[in-house]
Amino acid sequence: MAELFAATMSQMREAVLVIDQEMRVVASNPSARSVFIYAEGAPDAQRLTELTRNPSIYAAFLDGLQGKERAGVKVEGYGQDRRVFDLRVVPLRFGERREAYGAIGIFFDITQLERLEGVRQEFLSNVSHELRTPLTAILAFVETLEEGAVDDPLNNRRFLSIIRKNAARMHTLIDDILELSAIEAGNVSVNQTRVPLRAIAADVMTDLKTKADARHVTLRNEVGEQVRVFADERRLEQMLTNLVENAIKFNREGGDVVVSYERDKAGDLIRVADTGDGIPPEHLNRLFERFYRVDRARSREMGGTGLGLAIVKHLALAHNGEITVSSKLGEGSKFTIKLPIQNGVESSRSAKVDKEARQN
Ligand code: ADP
């Protein structure tokens, strides 16, 4: 029985520390030693004070010795990995008379939870900020109209169109936010079948032709007639639309956008390349984060929400694939969707995005 108990303790992810009335450490499990490995004191210290000088840990154990239970004590970890723990301390009573013996503390690792909470708060504050900008413009122009501009034939229509543009912007933003959270929550089903890539790319190009023409950008579909990829047709179309639209927006006047395909050992590669200014290398690894934009003002001016690439990323993950980017300043950027190859197997599942990916 004692052996079983020892084995259980040593396998526990939570750190367990037992102290006696004199604050001597009388038992600890391997997780506890890893928690305190960065502590000032030696990991095999005899006393709690040698193990850590953290006053909140000390105070919680002291309460435990006085018969008080403590929960929710937040302990910031040591070292570079900065782990965060939720410490719970309970008094330990022993023997027939249930005399106070000491206290037992359990450290729950809440690093990941804290990180997610941080991401959530940042997202909320970004959303509020993004919504506030068009709303402020709407309110300002409504006030101007109310204060008399409504009778000013030179400006009243112009003001109305600014109001409409900003309201439309809020609408797009809310649609994108809802779309992104549905994909992330796994509420979007991805029905992967073998679909004709050339036809899908052609549809996307037809839809975006007006935008491309306005900037004299040429759209070229270089996907072979026979190419089939394993994807959800509608979702693939959505990914390509976002990428081609960006390739038009961030292109130079008179530039090109090419959609092409290549089969790689690892999967099907779908590329969207443009001849724009390119993206400075320091931005590349953050590009797929929500609301991340190289040039905020330029993105806004072109009606962007900063969510397009985050949506593409999550859709690619929902296909068990991924999205990557490479770019050369002054020459252009190339976005590549990699999809897994599946021959003849049809699959239908809900979009489950892994935890790591969710955090952006
Ligand atoms: P946006 O709504 O701003 O287009 P996205 O998430 O689609 O948002 O893109 C994020 C940012 O990535 C853009 O604001 C832009 O700075 C950069 N970006 C995306 N695609 C390209 C591209 N083809 N060329 C240059 N920069 C790009």
- In the block, tokens 């993105």 appear at 299
- Of 172, 287, 289, 331, which is best to mutate to test ligand 1, by the most ligand atoms within 8 angstroms of its C-beta? 287
At 120 the pLDDT is 86
Is residue 257 over pLDDT 60?
yes
For the stretch 311-337, pLDDT in tens is: 999 999 999 999 999 999 999 999 999
- Of 309, 313, 323, 333, which is best to mutate to test ligand 1, by the most ligand atoms within 8 angstroms of its C-beta? 309
Say whether 28 sits in a helix, a strand or coil. strand
The verdict on 161 and 267 lying in the same domain is no
The verdict on 296 and 277 lying in the same domain is yes
CATH number at residue 178: 1.10.287.130
Give the rounded distance of the alpha carbon of 255 from its chain centre.
Answer: 32
At 118 the pLDDT is 87
The verdict on 40 and 179 lying in the same domain is no
Q: Does 333 contact ligand 1 (Cβ within 6 A)?
A: yes
Q: Does 305 contact ligand 1 (Cβ within 6 A)?
A: yes
Burial (CB count <10 Å: 0-12, 13-18, 19+), residue 327: buried
- Would you give the end-to-end CA distance of the chain in angstroms? 46
Per the CB < 8 A criterion, the answer to whether 244 and 219 are in contact is: yes
Question: Which is more confident, 295 or 196?
Answer: 196
Indicate the pLDDT class of residue 351, thresholds 50, 70 and 90: very low
At 356 the pLDDT is 44
Indicate the pLDDT class of residue 9, thresholds 50, 70 and 90: confident
> Of 78-82, 147-151, 210-214, where does the model show the most confidence?
210-214
Per the CB < 8 A criterion, the answer to whether 275 and 250 are in contact is: no
The verdict on 194 and 177 lying in the same domain is no
Alpha carbon nearest to ligand 1 atom 24, residue: 250
The verdict on 50 and 118 lying in the same domain is no
Q: Does 130 contact ligand 1 (Cβ within 6 A)?
A: no
**pLDDT, the chain, mean:** 87
Per the CB < 8 A criterion, the answer to whether 248 and 207 are in contact is: no
Alpha carbon nearest to ligand 1 atom 14, residue: 293
Of 109, 131, 148, the position where a domain reaches its end is 109
Q: How many domains does the chain have?
A: 3
Comparing 71-85, 137-151, 257-271, which segment has the lowest mean pLDDT?
A: 71-85
Distance 149 CA to ligand 1 centre (A): 36
Q: Does 275 contact ligand 1 (Cβ within 6 A)?
A: no
At 352 the pLDDT is 47
DSSP E strands in the chain: the ranges are 15-20, 25-28, 70-76, 84-94, 99-109, 189-196, 218-221, 228-231, 256-263, 268-274, 322-328, 332-339, 347-350
CATH number at residue 49: 3.30.450.20
For the stretch 70-84, pLDDT in tens is: 998 898 876 566 788
Is residue 140 over pLDDT 70?
yes
At 223 the pLDDT is 97
- Kindly state the average pLDDT of the residues 171-194: 89
The verdict on 19 and 161 lying in the same domain is no
At 344 the pLDDT is 47
Indicate the pLDDT class of residue 45, thresholds 50, 70 and 90: low
The verdict on 150 and 91 lying in the same domain is no
Is residue 270 over pLDDT 50?
yes
At 78 the pLDDT is 63
Residue 75's nearest CA partner among 39, 50, 101 is 39
Of 164, 184, 204, the position where a domain reaches its end is 184
The verdict on 267 and 202 lying in the same domain is yes
Q: Does 332 contact ligand 1 (Cβ within 6 A)?
A: no
Q: Does 239 contact ligand 1 (Cβ within 6 A)?
A: no
Alpha carbon distance 257, 246 (integer Å): 10
At 192 the pLDDT is 93
pLDDT over 90, % of the chain: 54
- Kindly state the average pLDDT of the residues 160-179: 92
Alpha carbon nearest to ligand 1 atom 2, residue: 304
At 355 the pLDDT is 42
User: 5: part of which helix (H) or strand (E)?
Assistant: helix 2-11
The verdict on 311 and 206 lying in the same domain is yes
Q: Does 309 contact ligand 1 (Cβ within 6 A)?
A: yes
The verdict on 18 and 165 lying in the same domain is no
Q: Would you mind telling me the total number of residues written for the chain in this entry? A: 360
Alpha carbon distance 277, 134 (integer Å): 28
Q: Does 274 contact ligand 1 (Cβ within 6 A)?
A: yes
Query: What is the domain range of residue 156?
Result: 113-184
Distance 11 CA to ligand 1 centre (A): 46
The verdict on 146 and 208 lying in the same domain is no
Q: Does 294 contact ligand 1 (Cβ within 6 A)?
A: yes
- DSSP-assigned letters across all residues of 154-206: TTHHHHHHHHHHHHHHHHHHHHHHHHHHHHHTT-SEEEEEEEEHHHHHHHHHH
- DSSP-assigned letters across all residues of 83-112: -EEEEEEEEEEETTTTEEEEEEEEEEE-HH
Of 109, 131, 153, the position where a domain reaches its end is 109
CATH number at residue 268: 3.30.565.10
Write out the two tokens for 214: 């306005």
The verdict on 194 and 271 lying in the same domain is yes
